[in-house]
């Protein structure tokens, strides 16, 4: 059955609202938009994906949280499941930018990578717990 849905294209900063006429997952017409927008709509109907960026806990680093991100766009319906999995990860500093934090996340073949270095916190010999 032919249906028309409005989809906002997130491929570029213009953020066009596209009128997509489709029959199930088969795209029949897209108005307006460019070729990249039309390709986005086709992917969005069949296998929507997003880049995911979040943080995981790290012990002994200069900060308690390490920014991490997916190495590739991640299946949108499984993002909440991914966030639950990352919640239980606790790393030990040092961590190098680009280091895999979780390989083959949820069996998708997509790794989760560190987005920055996390060096070990070096404390002064005069450091006391009251200072932190
Ligand atoms: S349809 Fe084309 S111009 Fe519009 S947001 Fe998508 S990529 Fe950008």
The string of pLDDT tens digits covering residues 46-99 is 999 999 999 999 999 999 999 999 999 999 999 999 999 999 999 999 999 999
122 located within any domain:
no
Percent of the chain with pLDDT over 90: 88
129 against 107, higher pLDDT = 107
Is 130 part of any domain? no
Largest CA-CA distance found in the chain, in angstroms, rounded: 73
Instruction: Say if residue 105 is in the same domain as residue 59.
Output: yes
Q: What are 87's two structure tokens?
A: 């919640």
Q: Is the CB of 11 under 6 A from ligand 1?
A: yes
Q: Containing H/E element for 81?
A: helix 79-87
Nearest protein Cα to ligand 1, atom 6: 37
Residue 35's domain comprises 3-46
Q: Please identify, by atom number, the ligand 1 atom nearest to the C-alpha of residue 33.
A: 1
- 107 & 60 share domain: yes
Q: What is the pLDDT of residue 1?
A: 86
Q: Which atom of ligand 1 is nearest to the CA of 10?
A: 5
CB 34 near ligand 1, within 6 Å: yes
Give residue 130 CA to ligand 1 midpoint distance, Å: 54
DSSP for residue 124: P
Domain membership of residue 101 (yes or no) is yes
User: Using an 8 Å Cβ cutoff, are 18 and 5 in contact?
Assistant: no
**Ligand 1 centre and the CA of 43: distance in Å?**
14
Q: 10 Å Cβ neighbour count for 101?
A: 19
Residue 31 within any structural domain of the chain: yes
Question: What pTM does this model have?
Answer: 0.82
């Amino acid at each position: 059955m032919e249906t028309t849905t409005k989809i906002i294209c997130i491929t570029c900063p213009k953020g066009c609202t596209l009128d997509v006429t489709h029959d199930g997952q088969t795209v029949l017409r897209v108005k307006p938009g460019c070729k990249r927008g039309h390709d986005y709509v086709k992917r969005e109907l069949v296998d929507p994906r997003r880049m995911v960026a979040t943080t995981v806990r790290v012990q002994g680093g200069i900060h308690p949280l390490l920014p991490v991100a997916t190495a590739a766009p991640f299946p949108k319906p499984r993002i909440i499941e991914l966030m639950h999995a990352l919640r239980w990860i606790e790393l030990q500093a040092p961590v190098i930018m680009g280091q895999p934090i979780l390989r083959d996340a949820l069996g998708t073949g997509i790794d989760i990578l560190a987005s920055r270095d996390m060096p070990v916190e070096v404390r002064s010999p005069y450091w006391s717990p009251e200072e932190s």
